[in-house]
Every structure is written in structure tokens, then in C-alpha cells.
Amino acid sequence: MNTSWFRVREGAATRGVLVLDASRAATDHWPGQRALVVGVGALLPAADRPDVAFLGSAERLSYDTFTRDADRRYAANAGRGRVTGPLLDALGGDRPPLVVVCAVRPPADLADWRDGAAEGVALVRLDPASPGADCPELPFDAAAIAAALTRRPGTVRVRLPGGFPLAWDNLAYRADGTDLVSDAGANPVMRVAFAHTGEAAEVLAERAWDGGASGSLPVEPTAPDPEPTWRTLSGVEQSVVEAWRDGRAARCAACGARHDAGAVACAASGGSVLPTLVREAAGRFVRIRLGVMEATYQPVAGSAAVVGGAVVARDGAGGLAVWQPGPPTGGWVRSTEAWGAFEPAGSADEFLLALPPGKPA
Ligand SMILES: [Zn+2]
């Protein structure tokens, strides 16, 4: 089992794009398109004003850059072919929330947008007599276009095909099976570690926008977090772990009774049979090593622990589940194997301890 770290970044395409037709057939429609851009911008806060592009060009201009110099921008693009390909190629997977294409006739390659982004494009017919297209349409109306461009970021779904999320540093994300899903509108940036077999393939991070469009966020491999330090348990705690290792209940210094293996919380005293560990996060895992002279422990970063070729994680019911990688095309499979709060982990003197979950708020 391997562990790989990735960083999800904020995408660049957070504003919609208004694409104009500068082809010869659309010459008479230039003043109308210029007025439409200004009309849309006047209805939106500065941060939501769309970028502007021309059919046949890959260049995306900010709203301010375009409107400062609209006629010259038009002149520089006049005569361009009525195709969306160059802009589509330039955007790559980082799709904006909505691309509104104004055209005197539907661009021949408009159907290419259907490649996973059918809801991400809308057509405005400059000539109402022209044929429609196989995509949503908007009227030639600034208010309708401004409303369509006002889309809020929704949830982000992050997954490594064949991978199991172990640790992540953005609390807006929660596990949904082996995917991570963020709260709607949350900052999507995070560092995340996945367990996987074989080579780590590409991590997919897809952001949905209110209204149905979605686009991918950039993800890059990154250096792992430093491994948490191994710390020492007290001599009394060492004898507790030794008893558990030997299959015996351990005598509790707090209440005097005996605690079964993994029973860290002491109900009678309200304390812990391993008080050093109360500083560690409730519900998380720690690895414990029994040496000849001392016992040491290391907190596990994140909410799941790799043990051999499997991953141990809490299930939704507060129990512990063992997950194993399924066939290459399938996800992870929950093992029928029961897993206790204190189990051998990898070697004769190393154990995985599940700390008691926190009390519900
Ligand atoms: Zn006790």
C-alpha cells in the first residue's frame, strides 16, 4: 500500500465568459453586442462581470479590459471564423461556470461543448431567424444573461480512482465513500493524502456550480507531511499495553478495576487508562510500539490508518471497518473482518489503537 499527497488549488475560471461573434456575417450586430456586454456588466457586481472573448480566438479578456477599448478589440478580431474550439482548448478542464456564446448562426463546433459541459454553455442567437442548436439558449437580453451568469460555486468532489482518502487539512470536506465532498461554496484548497496500490494516477477535483455546470480544479502532487514524532508513554502505561498485547485485561491506575484491550476511557473515574493520550484528537488512531525499555506512540495523521494492505477507518455507526482495495476497476471493499480498538498492526510489537470518539455535542 502506498500513500501519496496532493494539493487541490483554486481554479482560475471563477467568472463566466461572454463570447462575441466578429465574423463578417455578424458585422451589423456589432453595436448590439457591444451594448449587450455593457448592459450585462451594469447589472452585476464587479467580481461577477464576465470575461469577454471572440469566436475563433483563444484570448479571454477581463470585462474592464474589453470595455475600455471595445471597438479596437472588435476591429482586431473582425472576420474571425465562427468556432468555439480555440477558446475551448485554451480553457482545458478548468471550465468557467457559464460560457454564453452570441452568434449570428450557431457555431459549427458548438456540439463539442457537450463533452461533459452541456450545461456550461448557452447560445444567444443574434438573428432570431437562424436555426437553434443542441444546447440551452438565452434571449438577447442583458437581464436574462446577467441572471444566468450569476452562479455560485457549489460542492467540490475530490477522488483518486482506486484511492482511499486518509488525511486532509480542510474541514469543509467530508468523506463520501472514497470521495471527499466539500460544503457548497467552501474554499476548495486542501492538501490530501490517499492510500492506493500501484502507481498513483490523477486525482480528480470537480467543482459544480449552482445551475448544473461543473469544471475541474487543478491538482498537483505535493510533498508528504512530515511524519508525526514518536513520543514516550509512562511506565504504568507501558504495562497496560503489555497486558493487552498478552491478551489480558490491564489494571487501571485510576479506578483499580481491569480494562479490556483497547478500553482507554475509564468510566468509573472519568479519566483514561492511558492519560498521556488524552491530548490526542478523540476518535483518531495512534500507533503504539512496545520496545524493550519503553513504549512509544505516534498519532496517525487523518481519520484512517494504513495497516499492511488495508485501511482501517471508522464507519458511520462509530464502529471500525477494514477496507481493502477491490479489483483494479472497482472501488474499495469493506472486509467482513472485525477490527477492535487495539489490534496488532504490521509487526509483533506494533499496535493500532483507536481512541474513543468524542462525546456528541
Ligand atoms: Zn479505570
Q: Residue ranges per domain, the chain?
A: 2-8+153-222, 17-149, 231-354
Residue 76's SS3 state is helix
Q: Buried b vs exposed e over 270-281: b needs ≥16 C-beta within 10 Å?
A: ebbbbbbbeebe
Q: pLDDT of 173-227, one tens digit each?
A: 999 989 999 999 899 999 999 999 888 789 999 988 876 677 788 899 999 999 8
Ligand 1 geometric centre to CA of 85 (Å)? 69
Residue 360 has pLDDT above 60, yes or no: no
Local structure of 327: helix, strand or coil: coil
* C-alpha cell at position 114: 457537450
Give the model confidence (pLDDT) of 17-49 as tens digits: 999 999 999 999 999 999 999 999 999 999 889
- Give me the helices (H) in 176-219, please: none
pLDDT of residue 116 exceeding 70: no
Assess whether pLDDT exceeds 90 at residue 135.
no
Residue 59 corresponds to which amino acid? E
Q: How many alpha carbons lie under 13 Å from residue 231 in its C-beta half-sphere?
A: 13
**C-alpha 268 to ligand 1 mean position (Å):** 6
Q: Which residues surround the ion ligand 1 when the cut-off is CB under 5 Å?
A: 252, 254-255, 266
Ligand 1 centre distance from Cα of residue 281 (Å): 20
Distance 248 CA to ligand 1 centre (A): 15
For 46-52, the CB contacts below 8 A with 24+ separation are 47/15, 48/15, 48/16, 48/149, 48/150, 49/15, 50/15, 50/16, 50/17, 50/18, 50/100, 50/149, 51/15, 51/16, 51/17, 51/18, 51/96, 52/17, 52/18, 52/19, 52/20
How close is the Cα of 306 to the center of ligand 1, in Å? 29
How far apart are the CA of 171 and the centre of ligand 1, in A? 33
Distance 270 CA to ligand 1 centre (A): 8
Residue 361 confidence class, pLDDT cut points 50, 70, 90: very low
Residues 296 and 29: their CA atoms lie apart, in Å, by 75
SS3 77: helix
Looking at per-residue pLDDT, the higher value among 351 and 210 belongs to: 351
Residue 356, number of CB atoms within 10 A of its CB: 15
What is the Å distance from ligand 1's center to 264 Cα?
Answer: 8
| Alpha-carbon gap, residue 56 to 108, rounded angstroms | 11
Compute the CA torsion angle 350, 356, 357, 358 (nearest 10 deg): -130
Residue 263 Cα to ligand 1 middle (Å): 9
* pLDDT above 70 as % of the chain: 94
C-beta of residue 272 within 8 angstroms of C-beta of residue 264? yes
Q: Distances in Å between the alpha carbon of 245 and those of 158, 275, 292, 322? A: 38, 18, 14, 20
CB distance 244 to 250 below 8 Å? yes
CA of 301 to the centre of ligand 1 (A): 27
Compute the distance from residue 118 Cα to the ligand 1 centre, in Å.
61
Cell numbers at 333, concatenated: 471493499
For residue 12, the 8-state DSSP code is: S
pLDDT band at 10 (very low <50, low <70, confident <90, very high): confident
- Chain segment 224-273, per-residue pLDDT in tens: 999 899 999 999 999 999 999 999 999 998 899 999 999 999 989 888 99
In the predicted model, is pLDDT for residue 91 greater than 90?
Answer: no
What is the 307 CA–ligand 1 centroid distance (Å)? 28
Q: Which of 127, 72, 67 minimizes the C-alpha distance to 103?
A: 127
Rounded distance from Cα 309 to ligand 1 centre (Å): 34
Question: What's the gap in Å between 258 CA and the centre of ligand 1?
Answer: 7
From the CA of 250, how far away is ligand 1's center (Å)?
A: 9
Q: How far is the CA of 278 from the centre of ligand 1 (A)?
A: 14
Q: For 154, list phi and psi in degrees, rounded to 5.
A: -100, -140
266: CA distance to ligand 1 center in Å? 4
Q: Measure 320 CA to ligand 1 centroid, in angstroms.
A: 23
Rounded to the nearest angstrom, the distance between the alpha carbon of 208 and the centre of ligand 1 is 50
